[in-house]
Amino acid sequence: MNEIIKQLDHWQTLIGAFLGGLLVALLVAYEARRREEISAAMLLVGDLVGVSAAQSSLVELAEKVSIVDDDLAPWMAERLVWSRPKISLMYEASMVRVMPLCPELSAHLSLFHTLYIGVEHHLNRLEVDFEEFRRTGKITRSKESINADARLAMNSFVAAAEHAKCAEHLLTHLVLGHFPTWHRVRRTLCPSKEEQKCKERLKKGSTAH
């Protein structure tokens, strides 16, 4: 009987040690993953805020200098050609790190990235046109093509900024905030007006309207 008790005590000690070690390992893994998510979120927020702030500044400046609607696209595109936010080379890797946390966050980050690639494409074409005009005083492309690129660049930039604001809001509350679970519950039961608008933006997808 004593031998059985000793064996049970021995196994109890081993099981306790195993479970304790497993719990510590899980906690360490969780903390490591949490640090990686926070680092990724901070990098993403920097990129997102840079784009949304630039868009807001351009809109305010256009209103201040009374740019009419017909001239807004070429006016904004020209300024973006010479000075626009650059997305970090680590954006995609950071995006992958936080995408599993929330489907809406994943969608906003992906759409922002897709739209901003489009912005860069159209602005690069316009930059070639401007440089050609600077060197030769002529532009080989038609006025219609240049205006189309300007319009698409502006619309894509505005749409990208909208998704940037939504993604930044989610990252701030669900990753960088102190009460992510509470914010998840609140968003489900009582979403704010801005959060409802963000859901509507997702329905539009990558449309540059």
Residue 146 lies in a domain: yes
The amino acid occupying position 167 is A
**Helix or strand (DSSP H, E) at 175:** none
Instruction: List the pLDDT tens digit at each of the 209 positions of the chain.
Output: 556 555 555 556 655 555 555 455 544 444 556 678 888 999 999 999 999 999 999 999 999 999 999 999 999 999 999 988 999 999 999 999 999 999 999 999 999 999 999 999 999 999 999 888 888 888 888 889 999 999 999 999 999 999 999 999 999 998 887 777 677 777 777 788 888 899 888 887 655 55
Residue 122 lies in a domain: yes
Q: Which residues contact 4 (CB under 8 A, 6 or more apart)?
A: none
The amino acid occupying position 127 is E
Separation CA 153–CA 206 (nearest Å) = 13
Residue 14 lies in a domain: no
Q: Which residues contact 177 (CB under 8 A, 6 or more apart)?
A: 183
Residue 179 lies in a domain: yes
**What domain range is 138 assigned to?**
35-204
Please give the structure tokens belonging to residue 54.
Answer: 């630039």
**Contact (CB, 8 A) for 95 and 56:** no
Q: How many domains does the chain have?
A: 1
pLDDT per position as a tens digit, 16-44: 555 555 455 544 444 556 678 888 999 99
Residue 110 lies in a domain: yes
Please give the structure tokens belonging to residue 152.
Answer: 């698409």
Residue 103 lies in a domain: yes
CA triple 97-89-118, angle to 5 deg: 100
Residue 137 lies in a domain: yes
Residue 108 lies in a domain: yes
